[in-house]
Amino acid sequence: MMAEARVFLLSCAVQDYAWGKLGSSSEVAQLWASGDPSRQIDPKKPYAELWMGTHPKGDAVILDSHIAQRTLGQWIAAHPDSLGSKVKECFDSQLPFLFKVLSVRLALSIQAHPDKVLAKKLHAQFPQHYPDDNHKPEMAIALTPFRGLCGFRPISEIVAFLQGIPEFRALIGQDAAQQLEASAADLSKDLGVRKALQKCFTCMMQRSKEEYANQLNLLVQRVKQQVDSGEDVSSVIGDLLLTLNSQFPGDIGCFAIYFLNVVTLQPGEAMYLGANEPHAYLEGDCVECMACSDNTVRAGLTPKFIDVDTLCEMLTYISAPAAAKLFTPTAMAGDSYALLYNPPVPDFTVIKIEVPSSVPQYHIQALDSASILLVVRGQASGQGAHASLTLHSGSVLFISANESITLDVDPSHNLLLFRACCLLG
């Protein structure tokens, strides 16, 4: 009797959210189509997210016809030891992460994710809006230049916007604006600064639609006139303001750019988004990994459910420069081709692997964790326990704990892989 495969290929779900890139401009679409030659990309359809994992909304389908279970979630339930002993124990025999590729055309909502305590509370009170009780820390690693909003700006920058943009100041209100200006004079009093920042942000977010739409219209018209006359509008982030207002006309989220850092990641650069940190993705393609949850608290730039009060209460209000939002990977021990993106949560780690075409073979290390491997570029043939594999762009591979694979690399292209796993100490 042949031993059951513990390494196998997956067919993964694609989500067609409206904000996704259209047709073949989407990295998601390209990976989806190259993963299966029979798939045809619809040029008018948005291809927003590729989900690689066991989440009920997109449980990956196993391609090996010899395996009895149809989906990865069913297979792990029948083979919990495949997770690795520590992962199995720590996460109740569940795969603890969801691995994704995102292709963003329109801005995603101004949002934050709750910590575990708040997630349990929100799920109990509003299960229709918060579908599980888990936290959702996440990390984005750019595949193409990727722009997003992440964390509160330095106080000095917010104060400069308050003093230079009358429409923004009118929305915040004179009292709250002056409190932040006064606190900025003595940043050593951290709690006072954070309270003043919270007051400013909450005052803005709780304005009536009529108030913020009126001030936004005044600002947009002024910036458009400046653009038409050839003036530089970078001091008010004019280009981004006009883009967001064109995507979400009259939306309060357009003003969030004056509170939050605008971060542009180059390919391979990453940002980590912990609990209660405000953020929004604006454009580009990235690999994303997160705890296996679907809990998001939104407050702007979205047609979905908005929960302004919860968002304003939950945020940390820690301000820092944009450069501080970059998450720096480390070299992986024993592997000169791998970089480790290891966030301060136990749920997931991402390994970026780039093998030059001049290297004939690459050995994928065994880990004490189940992992999911995505091939972004290049081709290889693999040999592991009970498995012979042909891998190419778009291939997604499940690797059980303590399994290794040796890849013969196609010399015509560099090999670019991302591997999601759970490295518990």
Handedness of CA 127, 129, 132, 134 (dihedral sign): negative
Q: What is the largest CA-CA distance in the chain?
A: 78
Spacing of C-alpha 422 from chain mean position: 17
Cα 258 to Cα 251: distance, rounded to the nearest angstrom: 14
Cα 122 to Cα 129: distance, rounded to the nearest angstrom: 8
* Predicted local confidence at residue 2, as pLDDT: 46
Going from the N-terminus, what domains does the chain have, and what CATH number goes with each?
Answer: 157-256 (1.10.441.10), 330-421 (2.60.120.10)
Residue 94 CA to residue 370 CA, distance in Å, equals: 10
What is d(CA 378, CA 355) in angstroms, rounded to the nearest whole number? 9
One of 70, 298, 377, 419 is an active-site residue; which one? 298
Q: pLDDT in tens for each of the 425 residues of the chain? A: 346 789 999 999 999 999 999 999 999 999 999 988 889 999 999 999 999 999 988 999 999 988 888 999 999 999 999 999 999 999 999 999 999 999 999 999 999 988 888 888 888 888 887 777 777 889 999 999 999 999 999 999 999 999 999 999 999 999 999 999 998 877 667 778 999 999 999 999 999 999 999 999 999 999 999 999 999 999 999 999 999 999 999 999 999 999 999 999 999 999 999 889 999 999 999 999 998 777 788 888 888 888 999 999 999 999 999 999 899 999 999 899 999 999 999 899 999 999 999 999 999 999 999 999 999 999 999 876 556 789 999 999 999 999 999 999 999 999 999 999 999 86
Give the model's pLDDT for residue 180. Answer: 95
H or E stretch at 112: strand 110-112
Query: Cα–Cα distance between 51 and 57 in angstroms, integer?
Result: 9
* Beta-strand relationship, 110-112 and 138-142: unpaired
Rounded distance between C-alpha atoms, residue 231 and residue 235, angstroms = 11
Note if 377 is an active site residue.
no
Helix axes 238-247, 209-228, angle to 10 degrees: 130
